[in-house]
Structure 1
Amino acid sequence: MPRLSLQDKARAIGQMEAGVKVRRVAALFGVSPGTISKLRTKFRETGEVKDRPRSGRPKKTTPQEDRFLTLASLRNRRLSSRDLQARFAQRYHRQISDQTVRNRLHMASLHAARKPAMTALQRQARLRWCRQHRQWNLRMWGNVMFSDESRFCLRKLDGRIKVWRRRGERYADCCTDRVTPSNGGSVMVWGGISLTGKTELVVIEGNLNAVRYRNEILEPVAIPYLQNLGPNSILQDDNARPHSARIITEYLQNLGVERMEWPAVSPDLNPIEHLWDQLGHAVRARVTNTTMLADLRQILVEEWDAIPQQCVTRLVTSMRRRCQAVVTAYGSSTCY
């Protein structure tokens, strides 16, 4: 449960004095009813909402130093805790740990997050697509094969850059960053999932173009899977160049394959993105300093095959909730 700030505590007391029930106040602030009940008891006994004096190790930073860390992170959202640690040492001529820096930022309601940047037109397209599909039932989503490519690096599997944000700023433009894929020492793979199963994992050597997408993925793997899925099967792929090339469009039309229109910049709508994250965690647990690229390819295939079907089914069944979340956010990014 999150800690309530002094301002939120005062607001919670005001809500209860206005006659709002404890459970309703707890839901408004995202805390347990017990937290609000204890806050009310403390206010009745002391007339204050601030924390009572407590024993324990004294803080290593003063309120002024805490404000310095908070303002530094707000002025440059992409400063890491190590960067803030160095700035603190330069300003106050003493060292604190990077964990202390993170603790102070968390106390100021700043948490690390990232999301893809999108334009107003892209948000409108996402909103329009989700309004069209949010009424689909599970049987209709069961006809869709979700597919995607992902790249896994050998030595540095995750190149994410995180920013510090306050509550309510998870998807603010000042907290966004574009993520670029790593070059060299990596393996690209393709996979597809549906409500009832998943395809084999295709390891892609080198760069993927439209011809290779047709010859190495669609023809030997994706099309047979769609045929087994049923006569109403639908192929979902994103708007990457190999997917949107004319030869791919004509190839799928000649085969009579129905293709799902897909809004750009929408990783939160594709359930397979969660499987890539799960696969990455499993691979990181097995990669060592002596692991070679050939070993990484084999590990990826083994861990992909080991993903249980119930995980895949649970992700596909979330599509209706994903669409509703985008509609609620008016096309902006969601928590998925």
Structure 2
Amino acid sequence: MELGYYISYKTAINVLKSMNFFAAIKVKKPLLTAKHMKRRLAWVKKHKNWTTDDWRRVVFSDETKVNIWGSDGCKYYWSRPGDPLKPHHIDVTVKHGGGSLMMWGCMTYEGPGYACQIYDGTMNSDLYQHILDTTLREIMEYYNMDWSTAYFQHDGDPKHRSKSTVQWLKANG
């Protein structure tokens, strides 16, 4: 709403600071709709009485990007006015970010699974199913897990929910 007053950016900042406001980086969180919350509550109620033996059958999986040089996130350091710049205050960069690796992995009650590199940096449904059919099976054999009674948990990524992946999971699990 315009009130007919002009104030400079600096004045606006000073007024906000005098009222104890401060700038902060927004925290990223996934959108949780009413539908999501309802499903989560139903899941919790369904599994609230699970025993340790039930949890022994769960395999959690996810993909992640590992940067070879640094993080994608914000980095901070503490300093006082007038302090000289020190090496640990600098975020060193390299051209093109230095590269990264895409990885798939999982963990079980007994321990972590093998890391699986996704070589071209992207994964589609076919590659995901191949990883499940090879790497996941090897991990489950290593931990003596029964494929037919295991619970496999993954997130809602489109390649996890694709028609072919859902069919593969039904046929193989």
Report the TM-score when normalising by structure 1. Answer: 0.36
Inter-CA distance 253–66: structure 2 relative to 1 (3 Å threshold):
closer
1:71 aligns with 2:21: yes
> Partners of 2:151 and 2:124 in 1: how far apart?
22
Cα distance in 1 between the residues matched to 2:16 and 2:68: 38
Larger proportion of strand: 2
1:78/1:161 contact within 8 Å kept: no
Shift of 1:66: 9.8
Q: Which residue of 1 aligns with 2:104?
A: 190
Q: Aligned to 2:164, which of 240, 243, 247?
A: 247
> Which deviations, in whole Å up to 9, do the C-alpha atoms of 1:84-121 show, x marking residues without a partner?
xxxxxxxxxxxxxxxxxxxxxxxxxxxxx653332222
Which residue of 2 is the match for residue 209 of structure 1? 124
Q: Distance in 2 between matches of 1:161 and 1:130?
A: 35
Cα shift at 1:251: 1.6
Cα deviation for residue 203 of structure 1 reads: 0.8
Aligned length: 136
- Cα distance in 1 for residues equivalent to 2:59 and 2:100: 26
Question: Which residue of 23, 41, 47 corresponds with 1:127?
Answer: 41
Counterpart Cα distance in 2 of 1:245 and 1:200: 24
Deviation at 1:67, TM superposition (A): 5.5
Letter of the structure 1 residue corresponding to residue 153 of structure 2: Q
Give the structure 1 partner of residue 8 of structure 2. Answer: none
- After superposition, give the CA deviation of every residue in 1:205-236 in whole Å (9 maximum; x if it has no partner): 22100011112x11111123335312521211
- Tell me if structure 2 keeps the 8 A contact 1:144–1:234: yes
Q: In structure 2, what is the Cα distance between the partners aligned to 1:120 and 1:133?
A: 20
TM-score normalized by the length of structure 2: 0.66
Contact 1:151 1:187 in 2 (8 A): yes
* CA distance in structure 2 between the aligned counterparts of 1:226 and 1:65, rounded to whole angstroms: 60
In the alignment, structure 1 residue 141 sits paired with structure 2 residue 141: no
**Cα distance in 1 for residues equivalent to 2:39 and 2:59:** 21
Q: Percent identity?
A: 26
- Secondary structure (helix, strand or coil) at the match of 1:218 reads helix
CA RMSD in angstroms comes to: 3.0
Structure 2: give runs of 5+ residues left out of the alignment: 1-13, 77-96
Is the 8 Å Cα contact of residues 153 and 186 (structure 1) preserved in structure 2?
Answer: yes
In the other structure, the counterpart of 2:133 is: 219
Identify the structure with bigger relative contact order (alpha carbons < 8 Å, sequence gap 6+): 2
Higher fraction of helix = 1
Q: What does the per-residue CA deviation read over 1:285-319, in whole Å, with 9 as the maximum and x for residues that have no partner?
A: xxxxxxxxxxxxxxxxxxxxxxxxxxxxxxxxxxx
